[in-house]
Amino acid sequence: MATLSDHRRRMLPPENVDAQPITSDSVSNNHRTTHRRDAGNNGLRHRLVRQESLRRNIEHVAAETYLVSRLAFTLLRYLGIGYRWITQLLALGCYAMLLMPGFLQVAYYYFFTSKVKRSIVYGDQPRNRLDLYLPANIGEPKPVLIFVTGGAWIIGYKAWGSLLGLQLAERGIMVACIDYRNFPQGTISDMVNDTSRGISFIINNIANYGGDPNRIYLMGQSAGAHISSCALLEQAARESEKEDSVSWSISQLKAYLGLSGGYNLLDLVDHFHNRGLDRSIFLSIMEGENSLKEFSPEIKIQDPCLKSSIPHFPPVYLVHGTADYSIPSVASERFAEALKKAGVRAELILYEGKTHTDLFLQDPLRGGKDDLFDLAVAIMHSNDSDALANDAIAPPRRRFVPEILLKLARKISPF
């Protein structure tokens, strides 16, 4: 039987092993060992975080690619498959391939930079999401551009504003790209309601992201110009009727920019039909022939009920290319005239020889000087002398696509 003395003896170090005294060096060695172990654990955690972030980014890329593909096939289903549309589809494919060097660079920025806050929820309906493009330095509140993308009311998608968001963020401007329900998921009233809700969210929450709620601008492109102008006029009607549910005011917008938009649907039904967007489909999008006037800003601005809201309207800038065959520039000309007659401060800017995609795609991908970009920046920095001084010495915007590819893309563009 082991005795207590035997137990104590077993606990002692063997007699032939020299006991090491505890010194400051041994404590230091232990500390370094622990530090290396902690550093290794931290490194492992960082790697796991990066892997998880990469996994989420890849999942987001896959989800967005699926959505874009589904939108494209939806558009083709409504346009019909015939000889004309097969040739148009081939032209679109070639057009996209020629611009692909630029698209890939912008897509990488969109998916993998921390300066893009993707898919912020602004409402409870499908597609009620927005992307927020943040400037590199948010030391003080930044001006904000709300952008509503085009897409023939069928393939509109918030990521179409990535190039605009990237380039304006480089000039210290925050960009919020609103997504909205497309047809057949929604009709025009759903699109307008979604856009209005997105504008309300940004006006009431942008300060939390570093934006200046006193310097908010609204821009729409193509179908997005039509939808956003409808949202503007609908909000003006609510304010005229003094509705209790008003969550934002048109007076909170510093300016409205309409790019290559159509504002009188009665004039555009036949034009779109001749270009392949079937009349019956277009009327379904616009909720029937009886609704065309209601969703025609050129006509609605003449409503006497809006007279009390006119003094609160922001300045309106309508921009169009004279070689635009998707939506003729006369659409902006007539809307500008209607706005001026109603008492709104409106300015028409026409760019000679520019097509529907030149202003929004080819010219920005070209880099360097861009009249439309300079106009937008000048409007949003108009009351900021420091920003204007920085704009004057800003380096030229970089080129994304070689000039020869841009010229070829322009020639075969189906738009």
Q: Are 186 and 151 spatial neighbours (Cβ–Cβ below 8 Å)? A: no
| DSSP structural state of residue 289 | G
Side chain identity, residue 32: R
Ranges assigned E (strand) in 251-354: 253-259, 316-321, 346-351
* 381 carries an active-site annotation: no
- Residue 220: phi and psi, rounded to 5, are -130, 145
Give the distance from CA 302 to its chain's centroid: 31
Task: Classify strands 116-121 and 129-133 as parallel, antiparallel or unpaired.
Answer: antiparallel
State the catalytic residue, choosing from 356, 363, 370, 381.
Answer: 356
As a whole number of Å, the end-to-end CA separation of the chain is 99
Find the catalytic residue in 196, 222, 260, 332: 222
Q: Which residue of the set 179, 324, 358, 363 is catalytic? A: 324
Collapsed DSSP state (helix, strand, coil) of residue 79: helix
The arrangement of strands across the sheet holding 142-148 comes to: 116-121, 129-133, 174-178, 142-148, 211-221, 253-259, 316-321, 346-351
Contact 327, 222 (CB under 8 A): yes
Q: Categorise residue 222: left if φ over 0, alpha if ψ from -120 to 50, beta otherwise.
A: left
Q: Tell me, yes or no, if 194 is annotated catalytic.
A: no
Strands 142-148 and 174-178: parallel
Task: Looking at 172-222, list the stretches that DSSP marks H as alpha helix, in order from N- to C-terminal side.
Answer: 188-205
Distances (CA, A) of 65 to 58, 62, 246, 316: 10, 5, 36, 35
25 sits in which H/E element: helix 24-79
Neighbour count for residue 228 (Cβ, 10 Å): 31
Active site residue 60: no
Residues 6+ apart with CB under 8 A from 189: 287, 295
Instruction: Count CB-CB contacts under 10 A for residue 92.
Output: 16
Q: Record the tokens describing residue 393, joined without a space.
A: 């010495």
Q: Could you list the active site residues?
A: 222, 324, 356
